[in-house]
Structure 1
Amino acid sequence: MDYRRLGAGGLTVSAITYGNWLTHSSEAAENARRCVAAALDEGITTFDTADVYGSPDYGAAERVLGAALSGVRRGSVEILTKVCLPSGPGPNDRGLSRKHIMESCHTSLRNLGTDYVDLYQAHRYDDETPLEETMTAFADLVRQGKVLYLGVSEWRPAQIEAAAALAAELGVSLVSNQPQYSMLWRVIEKEVLPTSERLGLAQIVFSPVAQGTLTGKYLPQGKAPEQSRATDARGSRFVGRYLGDSVLSAVQRLRPVADEAGLTLAQLAVAWVLQNPGVSSAIVGASRPEQLRENTAAAGRKLDPDVMARIDAAFVDDVHGDLVERDPAKIATPFDVMPAWKS
């Protein structure tokens, strides 16, 4: 496993973060335990979750992760969670108000069975709450010892800059952003990455294999494999936008590139995001331990410039041109209204 500093702070994280967005639920607790055990065996020390994961059984993913990590020496792992998205039925069960941040943090600590979280992240930006209120609440949690470091997720450059300024004024560490990033989704490259680098924030990226698209298991004009995310009512909302034939054909053009590098397509995708110096860690989920072991093998693999160029070339065709989404305006667009493109 490769280990990296998280931005300008002192925290070290594993280059692969184990995430449990769609894979941990009360019904899948035993399988989750096996996957967490496999993650630890592979040298993963960083685990990412959120108060909303497992909805409508809010907090289920945190509880499952906490149980799976029970008995593991607390100082040997980094536990990351988030607050903002709706985590209950009430009007204050969402957003970044002081009330919701405080209550959600305490609930997350109980769910996870820990006295503190290593990184507490604002899951989205809240336009309805003053940023000063949000950052002061976060700073208070840091001073209380319940949170060690602060991060954001899917924030725009101006929002990150304003939060970083307030964090510095309050004397707390804002060290990371958690955006979506993959070969197919590069909307952070133009503005978010340079802004973050200037401010000392690292990226902990999610969906590096584009919801499974970059594993090559979805074939152009083919039927989605049984029990894949594309056949799941919940998961299909997210992967569906990638399943146009032109995009799937481009993924197949990566096979010889991966073969020559001695990698699977999934490993190539994870190694690609980790190649960016602004990225400290890539979040990988798994429904089976062997998936985790495969993706973890990408940590520390370096891709030479020729391989990077061939990857870029694979996502260009004569009909659609560039198949990669690069528009910075797509940052933080709700997933369920994102259209498919390049079909």
Structure 2
Amino acid sequence: MDYRHLGSSGLKVSEITYGNWLTHGSQVENETATRCVHAALDAGITTFDTADVYANTAAETVLGEALDGLRRESLEILTKVYWPVGPQGPNDRGLSRKHILEGIDGSLSRLRTDYVDLYQAHRYDHDTPLEETMQAFADVVRAGKALYIGVSEWTAEQIRAGQELASGLGFRLVSNQPQYSMLWRVIEEEVVPTSRELGLSQIVWSPVAQGVLTGKYPPGGALPAGSRATDEKGGARMISRWMRDDVLERVQALAPIAGELGLSMAQLAVAWVLQNPNVASAIIGASRPEQVGENVAASGVDLPAEVMARIDAALGEVVERDPARTAESSPPTTR
């Protein structure tokens, strides 16, 4: 396992982060989830990402139990705040001072820790003044409840405004957590250059495009039993944008490239995102312990420029690059 600095900070994270979105507390039993976490630790992963909204707080609880008793200083625990939790009352969501300060206390309790290494704004909140949000995060840092602050799926303009306010309050944003893969490259034109300028790294989610880049969905073929595409709890909805024959045909063209490199298609996909120097870590999930080891093998893989060009040619026009797609991920104001 290789490790990279998170933005311009001194914090190092593992190139592969273990994330428990859509798995812990919902898709897999707690015992299996714990075995996946321990497999990640055995593989050299030190960075674990979750969020209060995952399985309506249950994912944080499962992760906290799985990591309980381990040396806290050897781990980087990341969580997020924004989406509705609990009974979903009017203040159970967003980035208001109330929700952030209550949210961090709830997360710490479920994660069985006194602090998180990175606390992230899970989306941009159009209903709360950015000044209020940044002040609340500053207070969380001063209280020692979070060591660093990051964001997720913020536009370049939002990151710039947030960093300006944060700097005036005595802390800095160190990371952004966007979707990024061979198929989804919307951060490349604006978010990555801005982040590089302001000292943020990317911790990217869905590097294998919800499993599509593993090649297990042949065009026109039956959906594999138990796959993300058959999951009615949310997985099928998330993967639906890629379940088109033109996309699936292009993905199959990556198989020879992976084979020549001695990589699985999943390993090729994870290695691809790690070629971007602004990416500090790629988040992988697992429903079985053996899946962890396969993805970890992507750490340290160097893809020559010629291979990167072949990947571009193979995927062609099915790649999504429009930077405006980032803004779509944050719900509009409800005022």
Equivalent residues of 2:163, 2:198 under 8 A apart = yes
Q: How many residue pairs end up in the alignment?
A: 328
1:250-265 counterparts in 2 under 5 A? 250-265=250-265
Q: Does 1:38 align with 2:39?
A: yes
SS in 2 for 1:315: helix
Q: CA RMSD in A?
A: 1.2
SS in 2 for 1:82: strand
1:82-130 CA-to-partner distances (Å, cap 9, x unmatched) read 0001113210000000000000100000000000000000000000100
Instruction: Say if 1:52 and 1:86, in contact at 8 Å, map to a contact too.
Output: yes
Which blocks of at least 5 consecutive residues in structure 2 are unaligned? none
1:22 aligns with 2:22: yes
SS where residue 78 of structure 2 aligns? strand
Unaligned regions of 5+ residues in structure 1, if any?
Answer: 317-321, 337-343
Residue in structure 1 matched with residue 83 of structure 2 by the alignment: 85
8 Å CA contact 1:238–1:335 kept in 2: the answer is no
- Tell me the equivalent position of 2:226: 227
Which residue of the other structure, out of 309, 318, 324, is the alignment partner of 2:319?
324
Distance 2:241 2:157 in 1: 28
- The equivalent of 1:72 in structure 2 is 70
Q: For residues 8 and 334 of structure 1, do their structure 2 counterparts lie closer, same or farther at Cα, with a shift above 3 Å needed? A: closer
> Which amino acid in structure 2 is aligned with residue 95 of structure 1?
G
Partners of 1:45 and 1:77 within 8 A in 2: yes
Partner of 1:124: 123
After the TM superposition, which residues 269-308 of structure 1 pair with which residues of structure 2 at under 5 Å, given as runs?
269-308=269-308
Give 3-state SS (helix, strand or coil) of 2:54's partner. Answer: coil
1:341 is aligned to none
Q: Are the counterparts in 1 of residues 13 and 280 from structure 2 also a CA contact under 8 Å?
A: yes
Deviation string 1:298-322 (CA, Å, 9 cap, x unpaired) is 0010000111000000012xxxxx1
Tell me if structure 2 keeps the 8 A contact 1:6–1:201.
yes
1:141 is matched with which residue? Answer: 140
Quick one: distance in 2 between partners of 1:130 and 1:108? Answer: 23
Give, in whole Å, the separation in 2 of the partners of 1:330 and 1:226: 31
1:48 equivalenced with 2:49 (yes/no): yes
Shift of 1:333: 2.5
Contact kept? 2:202, 2:281, Cα under 8 Å? yes
Q: Which amino acid aligns with 2:97?
A: R
Structure 1 residue aligned with 2:177: 178
| Corresponding position of 1:61 | 59
Give the % identical residues. 68
Q: Take 1:182 and 1:332, find their aligned partners in 2: how far apart are those partners? A: 18
Provide the C-alpha distance between the structure 2 equivalents of 1:179 and 1:139, rounded to a whole number of angstroms.
22
1:288, CA displacement in angstroms?
0.5
Residue type of the partner of 1:42? A
**1:193, CA displacement in angstroms?**
0.3
Match of 2:196 in 1: 197
Distance 1:138 1:159 in 2: 16
DSSP-derived class of the 2:127 partner: coil
Counterpart contact for 1:176–1:201, Cα < 8 Å: yes
Query: What's the TM-score, normalizing by structure 2?
Result: 0.96
Instruction: Give me the TM-score of the superposition, normalised by structure 1.
Output: 0.94
Give the AA of the match of 1:136: Q
2:151 alignment partner in structure 1 = 152
Question: Residue deviations 1:111-162, cap 9 Å, x none?
Answer: 0000000000000000010001000000001000000000000000110001
Say if 1:124 and 1:332, in contact at 8 Å, map to a contact too. no
